Amino acid sequence: MGMGWCIGLVAIGAILTFAVDWHMQGVNVHLVGLILMAVGIIGICAYVSIFKRRRMQPPPPAAPVVEEDHRFIR
């Protein structure tokens, strides 16, 4: 699930929770909205965590040590 889907779930959940006054028999629309918001927030956290790990790069290798032989220098 990408970042866009997660933000969309949070938005749809917020709309269902705070802006809708439907009453469906057998379905609590406000609870469905809260569940969608929770899933969206968990998805955002997971996506950011995974994306952060992908962007971390190992440190560059150290520069090679060059040893000069001073016996041949005049």
With 0-12 / 13-18 / 19 or more C-beta atoms within 10 angstroms meaning exposed / middle / buried, residue 1 is: middle
The owner of tokens 């440190």 is 59
State pTM to two decimals.
0.66
- Please tell me the distance from the alpha carbon of residue 69 to that of residue 74, in angstroms, as a whole number: 12
pLDDT at 55: 63
pLDDT digit of tens for each residue in the chain (74 aa)? 688 999 999 999 999 999 988 888 999 999 999 999 999 999 999 988 887 766 666 667 777 777 776 676 65
